[in-house]
């Protein structure tokens, strides 16, 4: 089959997702999330083909604007855009002169004047991507804002879970580790709650946000109790700075209590799967053997789903725009 004849992948159902931007999971309905996952599903098969180029976004300009350095997320968005035929430009603001004294909004206005169709933005401050979205005319995708949200990560996690366990509704998912500083955790909690999964969070109190129990989760400080009978274990990366900030005493103490090894995993459901948004600290939050166990680890599949989800998001936002409904 000659892929050049494929202009776009049509999903069977009309797309329910209707936003101009994807700024967070908050505010998305279960139907919108499902429609994005369904669309992404079709891109998974497509991505496994030898030829992977579409013309869906042909002629569109996508700018990846990363105020925080990132390798995998940026690469994933870049690939997603290119496979859909968009012209993709990467701007690593963290290391360029554009960051010198220029405010976020000045940068936004500058880029807006270049008439992009899609802006993919990561920024170190919570709310920054939303602020930027208010000032530009194109669609904006939040690729992570501070400690607030990282919606495409939550979507790719959901897609990974759905493909392996059939559905999200009724599952029990444990999110373990540095919840306090994690935008991945926030987006996942919102998405899993919306989709009818039960969410537990497991961490020492120093790594939990204030009033964590009001986020619609069960809170555990004991990992063994928290993992009991869960279907999915999502591990979070623990940054080494957390030790200098006196939130945890040492690497070995953390691993002893909160590192995922076979012993603690034995408390989970026998079919439980393990996930990690990456990059991993082996021996810190997850034992190497668990991370590499192909029978239980979905970590590589998460990366694969990341490209498909981002293609679905870029596609969906572009459809909306081309419909003239702004």
- Of 55, 209, 219, 221, the one binding other proteins (CB under 8 A) is 209
- Alpha-carbon gap, residue 236 to 191, rounded angstroms: 16
- Of 50, 210, 241, 325, the one binding other proteins (CB under 8 A) is 210
Asked if 178 touches other proteins (CB under 8 A), the answer is no
- Alpha-carbon gap, residue 201 to 217, rounded angstroms: 7
DSSP 67: S
Of 4-12, 119-127, 166-174, 252-260: span binding other proteins (CB under 8 A):
119-127
Q: How far is the CB of 148 from other proteins (least distance, A)?
A: 3
Return the number of the residue (85 or 127) whose C-beta is nearest other proteins. Answer: 127
Asked if 273 touches other proteins (CB under 8 A), the answer is no
- Of 83, 123, 200, 310, the one binding other proteins (CB under 8 A) is 123
Q: How far is the CB of 139 from other proteins (least distance, A)?
A: 19
Asked if 130 touches other proteins (CB under 8 A), the answer is yes
Torsion of the alpha carbons at 171, 172, 177 and 180, rounded to the nearest 10: 90
Q: How many helices (H) and strands (E) does the chain have?
A: 12, 9
Asked if 131 touches other proteins (CB under 8 A), the answer is yes
Q: How far is the CB of 100 from other proteins (least distance, A)?
A: 15
Q: What is the CA radius of gyration of the chain?
A: 20
CA distances (Å), 168 to each of 165, 225, 259, in order?
8, 22, 25
Asked if 280 touches other proteins (CB under 8 A), the answer is no
Question: Which among 307, 300, 24 has a CA at the least distance from the CA of 164?
Answer: 300
Q: How far is the CB of 147 from other proteins (least distance, A)?
A: 4
Of 37-45, 208-216, 266-274, 315-323: span binding other proteins (CB under 8 A):
208-216
Footprint of other proteins on 20-79 (CB under 8 A):
none
CA distances (Å), 260 to each of 190, 209, 251, 290, 301, in order?
23, 21, 13, 7, 19
Return the number of the residue (183 or 200) whose C-beta is nearest other proteins. Answer: 183
Of 110-118, 128-136, 229-237, 294-302: span binding other proteins (CB under 8 A):
128-136
Would you say 133 and 166 are in contact if contact means Cβ atoms under 8 Å apart? no
- Of 10, 12, 50, 214, the one binding other proteins (CB under 8 A) is 214
The side-by-side arrangement of strands in the sheet containing 218-220 is 218-220, 198-202, 172-176, 232-235, 273-275
Of 79-87, 89-97, 141-149, 265-273: span binding other proteins (CB under 8 A):
141-149
- Alpha-carbon gap, residue 176 to 200, rounded angstroms: 8
Asked if 211 touches other proteins (CB under 8 A), the answer is yes
Asked if 148 touches other proteins (CB under 8 A), the answer is yes
- Of 53, 90, 126, 269, the one binding other proteins (CB under 8 A) is 126
Asked if 94 touches other proteins (CB under 8 A), the answer is no
Return the number of the residue (149 or 320) whose C-beta is nearest other proteins. Answer: 149
Would you say 65 and 107 are in contact if contact means Cβ atoms under 8 Å apart? yes
Q: How far is the CB of 318 from other proteins (least distance, A)?
A: 26
Tell me the residue ranges of DSSP E strands in the chain.
Answer: 61-66, 87-92, 118-123, 139-145, 172-176, 198-202, 218-220, 232-235, 273-275
Using CB under 8 A as the criterion, which residues of the chain lie in contact with other proteins when the complex forms?
Answer: 103-105, 123, 125-128, 130-131, 145-149, 183, 186, 209-212, 214-215
């Amino acid at each position: 089959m000659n892929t050049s004849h494929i202009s776009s992948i049509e999903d069977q159902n009309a797309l329910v997702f209707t936003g101009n931007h994807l700024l967070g999971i908050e505010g998305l309905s279960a139907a919108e999330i499902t429609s994005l996952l369904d669309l992404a599903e079709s891109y998974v098969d497509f991505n496994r083909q030898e030829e992977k180029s579409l013309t869906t976004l042909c002629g569109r300009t996508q700018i990846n604007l990363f105020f925080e350095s990132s390798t995998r997320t940026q690469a994933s968005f870049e690939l997603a855009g290119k496979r859909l035929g968009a012209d993709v430009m990467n701007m690593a603001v963290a290391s360029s002169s554009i960051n010198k004294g220029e405010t976020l909004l000045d940068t936004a206005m500058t880029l807006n004047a270049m008439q992009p169709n899609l802006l993919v933005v990561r920024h170190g401050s919570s709310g920054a991507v939303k602020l930027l979205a208010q000032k530009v005319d194109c669609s904006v995708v939040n690729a992570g804002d501070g400690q607030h949200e990282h919606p495409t990560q939550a979507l790719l996690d959901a897609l990974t879970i759905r493909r392996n366990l059939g559905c999200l509704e009724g599952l029990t998912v444990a999110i373990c580790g540095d919840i306090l500083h994690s935008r991945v955790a926030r987006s996942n909690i919102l998405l899993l709650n919306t989709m009818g999964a039960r969410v537990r969070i497991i961490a020492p109190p120093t790594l939990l946000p204030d009033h964590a129990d009001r986020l619609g989760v069960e809170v555990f400080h004991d990992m063994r109790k928290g993992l009991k009978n869960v279907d999915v274990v999502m591990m979070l990366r623990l940054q080494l700075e957390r030790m200098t900030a006196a939130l945890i005493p040492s690497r070995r103490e953390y691993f002893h209590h909160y590192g995922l090894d076979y012993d603690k995993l034995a408390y989970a459901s026998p079919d439980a799967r393990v996930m990690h948004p990456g990059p991993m600290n082996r021996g810190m939050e997850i034992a190497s053997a668990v991370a590499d166990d192909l029978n239980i680890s979905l970590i590589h599949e998460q990366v694969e789903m990341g490209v498909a989800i981002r293609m679905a998001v870029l596609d969906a936002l572009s459809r909306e725009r081309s419909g003239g409904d702004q």
